[in-house]
Amino acid sequence: MGIEKLTDKQQKQEKIVEMFDNIAETYDLANRVLSMGIDIQWRKKGCDKAFEILKKKELEQITDVATGTGDLLIYWKEQAQKNGIEIEKYVGIDPSVGMLEVAKKKVDFANFIEGKAQELPIGNQSTNVISISYGIRNVVDRVEALQEFHRALKPGGIVVILEFTKQDRSGLIDKVVDFGMKKVLPRIGGLISKNYEAYKYLPDSIEEFLTTEMLSQELEEAGFEMKYTKSFSMGISTLLVAQKI
């Protein structure tokens, strides 16, 4: 029974990776159109919070997991320079070869490695920061991934998560947001990427995902102390920042 479940999980994970391979070339454009660019401020806020908590002017490594096309690494570098912080090494990890091909053309200052969140291809206590933006929802073995983050982070290291967490939508505004996520977003994303199913997956996966409170609890159970949580744009997106105990 256990072996069958593992196989199902692996198949589900492979299907998600294949989906991202298929939309890699149009991913950035679709993101900017769908978020109207507001996600950039959310990402920068996560970077700044991590630097604020770490209180260091020199860091050995920042690792971006499920890095996709490497967007967040660009903001890590921008915000580090803005805060007068020196970063020795930037690393981007993703299981999608298609996404990494786009990332390598776009980001010339980072090392990119094909790899999974639940099996990080980096050493124990090797990185000061691990970030994952809109990717933890796509990790089937999420608990194992959080444990991996703990293993790879240096003592006192920071994990930064940006994600679409599940919300209890009951008010009028909530219903409008819900309509946009379920009806409008898949159509626009589908038009840009020529892959309607990939963008229909997004709202469906949010419905199946955790609330902010549940994700915070999983982080604490993995050995982290929650330092900061903030929701953006009527709860569409949530920033969680936690520190390795």
Domain ranges in the chain? Answer: 2-244
Check the annotation: does 94 bind a ligand: yes
- On whether 133 is known to bind a ligand per the annotation, the reply is yes
Cα–Cα distance between 173 and 167 in angstroms, integer? 13
- Strand ranges in 38-152 using DSSP code E only, listed in sequence order: 58-65, 86-94, 111-114, 127-133
Nearest Cα to Cα of residue 161 among 49, 241, 45: 241
Is 69 part of any known ligand binding site?
Answer: yes
**CATH top class, domain 2-244:** alpha beta
Please list the rounded mean pLDDT of every run of 10 residues in the chain (245 residues).
60 79 70 70 96 98 96 97 98 95 96 97 98 91 96 98 73 57 64 67 65 94 98 83 97
Q: What is the pTM of this model?
A: 0.82
Cβ neighbours for 80, distance < 8 A, ≥ 6 positions apart = 47, 51, 59, 62, 86, 87
> Can you give the pLDDT at residue 243?
98
Per-residue pLDDT at 167: 61
**pLDDT in the model for residue 104:** 96
Q: What is the pLDDT at residue 160?
A: 98
